[in-house]
Amino acid sequence: MLEAGATRVGVHASGGAPAGVAAMIDHTLLKPDATREQIEQLCREAAQFGFATVCVNPVWVALCARTLSGSGVGVCSVVGFPLGATTADVKGYETRRAMFDGAREIDMVINVGALKSGDLRAVEHDIDAVTAPCRDCQVVSKVIIEAALLTDDEKVTACTLAKAAGADYVKTSTGFGPGGATPADVALMRRVVGATMGVKAAGGIRDLEAVKAMVAAGATRVGASASVRIVKEASQERSSSVTVGGY
């Protein structure tokens, strides 16, 4: 993954990951029935293995920020999640509140209905309501386009608007929609946003081979729920490589 150009991999993982891979992981738990105990365990794992962030729903941001203070692990919050069908001013408030509570990264879902209606001004305003406060506070912003709901032309439009709004990343999916990431979508998004913007693939990524496919297509982060399997496969592959090399 590193050789292919990845700078971070976002997965929900636990277990002994190689140090270089762990530092690329956004440790994720976005299920609606997640408990406080599960969130605290998520934070303990993140601190233990040195993950880049934990990615959680807004209600858990303050708890994660307190728990992870001084650990070097950041907190990522979602906004307008998972439908994106929230007004722009509310998404802006949700963003500012999440940052106040300690979030250092924001994953927002666009107004998919407005995009499909051709109301591009509304989509632009929707994205800017999140990216502007993120810029002001030097917080990373990621725009989820929910690609499975869009035509290729709509995907291009969504990515173009996200780039114009100054987002740091575009992201394929919430993981709660009708479909997840595909290499074709990642490649299309990469072509649209160019080399200077991040692309995050999420949804339906269940093994290391899928991660490699997304990275090869242009993803710089990957979100998955089958993280234990992915991390174990990465560790095993690294061990096998060392053994074959004779070191």
Predicted pLDDT of residue 220: 84
Local structure of 199: helix, strand or coil: strand
Question: Which residue among 26, 91, 101, 107 is the active-site one?
Answer: 107
Predicted pLDDT of residue 121: 98
**Domains defined for the chain, CATH in brackets:** 19-245 (3.20.20.70)
Predicted pLDDT of residue 49: 76
Predicted pLDDT of residue 78: 97
* Backbone φ and ψ of 150, nearest 5°: -115, 155
Peptide bond into 82 cis (omega under 30): yes
Say whether 171 is catalytic.
yes
Predicted pLDDT of residue 47: 87
Question: Which residue among 91, 142, 155, 171 is the active-site one?
Answer: 171
| DSSP classification of residue 140 | E
Local structure of 180: helix, strand or coil: coil
Residue 224 near residue 7 (C-beta atoms within 8 A)? no
DSSP codes joined into one string, 67-78: HHTTSS-EEEEE
Say whether 200 is catalytic.
yes
Question: Which residue among 91, 142, 155, 200 is the active-site one?
Answer: 200
Say whether 163 is catalytic.
no
Question: In this structure, how many other beta carbons lie within 10 angstroms of the beta carbon of residue 3?
Answer: 6
Predicted pLDDT of residue 241: 65
Per-residue pLDDT of the chain (247 residues; tens, 9 = 90+): 444 455 555 444 333 333 356 676 788 899 999 999 999 999 988 888 777 788 999 999 999 999 999 999 999 999 999 999 999 999 999 999 999 999 999 999 999 999 999 999 999 999 999 999 999 999 999 999 999 999 999 999 999 999 999 999 999 999 999 999 999 999 999 999 999 999 998 888 788 788 788 889 998 877 766 666 676 777 777 777 655 444 4
Local structure of 243: helix, strand or coil: helix
